[in-house]
């Protein structure tokens, strides 16, 4: 299991290259709830999402053997961007397999950062191909969420939130494969155990709820959501128990709720966040989560990587 010290070590490691992201007051939501609602702006991080944290920490702590044959990853896009950026800083080649419906914006961005990007099938087929490439090319697989170093890097978001919002009583966090919420949960459980941590998934990709219901990670038969950054078909062997231990509740939101939240972020909060980053706000707007009776609310806005064409349906 991952401990607070590992997240603190990750923060010290990545701090020279990654600055803390801002906490922004959402005035409209604060007025609606009669209490302060803060948005943790991970869309302002390098490469446009929190994923640069875990990617950089993984690369900076990698052994010579891990790096020697190049890196490989499967990603819907943000992990690809974060890892490609970190690998380029270290002068290490990286191969990314993305599903064919991946965001063209993220595909192009990853290639511009020097990654070899292969588009292949759906997310499950992409994983099958990557495992083949690991064997054929001798790549080191850098899992997008189910890796202790990745989780520790993502957990640095939690350290920042506790410093920036000392009166917070709840953190609402998007959930895909579970790396971010697992890392934040390590921090909150150790430093603020009374603080509630709530995860939110798109109903078309509720892989963590599926694992909770079944008592273990298990692949979803189908993934269908506009929140592509959260479209993990299965959660991880690390992230499942960490999330189960440190998350007080899980909620899910539908496509309509995500669209509503996107409009709120664009027109009210003035943030061009991507759909996967909007699920926490969607849960608040839909009253899909039970909040503590008092205290500040923090919602993690995980990323903002979208093209104009991807943004248009939400305008």
In the structure, what pLDDT confidence band is assigned to residue 28 with cuts at 50, 70 and 90?
very high
How far is it between the farthest Cα atoms of the chain? 57
Stretch 159-188: mean pLDDT: 98
pLDDT tens digits for range 283-308: 999 999 999 999 999 999 999 999 99
Task: Name the DSSP class of 15.
Answer: T
The Cα 125–Cα 4 span in angstroms is 35
- Tokens encoding 145: 């969420």
Q: Are 270 and 283 in contact (CB under 8 A)?
A: no
User: Given this model, what pLDDT does residue 123 score?
Assistant: 83
User: Given this model, what pLDDT does residue 250 score?
Assistant: 98
Q: Are 63 and 149 in contact (CB under 8 A)?
A: no
Q: How far does CA 71 lie from the centroid of its chain?
A: 20
Compute the residue count for the chain: 315
Predicted structure pTM score: 0.97
Stretch 27-34: mean pLDDT: 98
Per-residue pLDDT for 278 more than 90?
yes
Q: Rounded to the nearest 10 degrees, how much is the dihedral formed by the CA atoms of 66, 67, 69, 73? A: 80
The Cα 182–Cα 186 span in angstroms is 6
Task: Name the DSSP class of 220.
Answer: -
User: Given this model, what pLDDT does residue 258 score?
Assistant: 98
Per-residue pLDDT for 314 more than 90?
yes
The Cα 76–Cα 147 span in angstroms is 17
Among 11, 1, 12, 35, which residue's Cα sits nearest to residue 185?
1
Q: Are 52 and 83 in contact (CB under 8 A)?
A: no
User: Given this model, what pLDDT does residue 1 score?
Assistant: 83
In the structure, what pLDDT confidence band is assigned to residue 280 with cuts at 50, 70 and 90?
very high
Per-residue pLDDT for 36 more than 90?
yes
**Angle formed by the axes of helices 179-191 and 239-246, to 10°?**
40
What stretches of the chain show up as alpha helix (H) in DSSP? Answer: 4-14, 27-33, 51-60, 64-68, 78-90, 104-112, 123-137, 148-164, 179-191, 207-214, 239-246, 255-263, 279-285, 308-311
Residue located via tokens 């899980």: 250
* 73: enclosing H helix or E strand: strand 71-74
Stretch 133-156: mean pLDDT: 97
Stretch 222-248: mean pLDDT: 95
- Tokens encoding 227: 């929140």
DSSP lists the bridge partners of residue 23 as 40
Per-residue pLDDT for 189 more than 90?
yes
All structural domains of the chain: 4-50+147-314 (3.40.50.1100), 52-141 (3.40.50.1100)
DSSP 145-184: SSSHHHHHHHHHHHHHHHHH-TTEEEEEEE-SSSHHHHHH
Task: Name the DSSP class of 270.
Answer: -
Stretch 143-164: mean pLDDT: 98
- Tokens encoding 294: 């008092």
pLDDT tens digits for range 68-115: 999 999 998 899 999 999 999 999 999 999 999 888 999 999 999 999
What proportion of the chain, given as a percentage, has pLDDT over 70? 100
**Angle formed by the axes of helices 179-191 and 4-14, to 10°?**
110
The per-residue b/e assignment along 132-167, b for 16 or more CB within 10 angstroms, e otherwise, is ebeeeeebbbbbbbbbbbbbbbbbbbbbbbbeebee
């Amino acid at each position: 299991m991952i401990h607070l010290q590992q997240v603190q070590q990750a923060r010290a490691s990545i701090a020279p290259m990654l600055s803390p992201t801002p906490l922004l007051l959402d005035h409209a939501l604060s007025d609606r709830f009669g209490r302060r609602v803060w948005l943790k702006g991970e869309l302002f991080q390098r490469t446009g999402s929190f994923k640069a944290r875990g990617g950089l920490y993984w690369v900076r702590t990698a052994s010579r053997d891990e790096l020697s044959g190049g890196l490989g990853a499967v990603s819907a896009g943000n992990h690809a961007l974060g890892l490609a950026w970190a690998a380029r800083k270290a002068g290490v080649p990286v191969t990314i397999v993305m599903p064919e419906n991946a965001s063209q914006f993220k595909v192009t961005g990853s290639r511009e950062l020097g990654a070899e990007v292969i588009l292949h099938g759906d997310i499950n087929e992409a994983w099958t191909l990557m495992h083949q490439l690991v064997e054929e090319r001798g790549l080191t697989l850098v899992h997008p969420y189910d890796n202790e170093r990745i989780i520790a890097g993502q957990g640095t978001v939690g350290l920042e939130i506790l410093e920036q919002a000392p009166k917070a009583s709840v953190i609402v966090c998007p959930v895909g494969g579970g790396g971010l919420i697992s890392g934040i949960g390590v921090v909150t459980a150790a430093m603020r155990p009374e603080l509630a941590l709530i995860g939110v998934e798109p109903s078309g990709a509720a892989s963590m709820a599926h694992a909770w219901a079944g008592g273990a990670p298990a692949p979803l038969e189908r993934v269908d959501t506009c929140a592509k950054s959260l479209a993990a078909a299965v959660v991880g062997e690390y992230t499942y128990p960490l999330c189960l231990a440190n998350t007080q509740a899980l909620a899910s939101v539908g496509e309509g709720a995500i669209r509503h939240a996107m409009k709120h972020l664009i027109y009210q909060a003035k943030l061009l966040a991507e759909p996967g980053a909007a699920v926490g706000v969607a849960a608040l707007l839909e009253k899909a989560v039970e909040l503590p009776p008092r205290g500040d609310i923090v919602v993690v806005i995980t990323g903002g990587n979208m093209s104009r064409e991807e943004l248009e349906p939400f305008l």
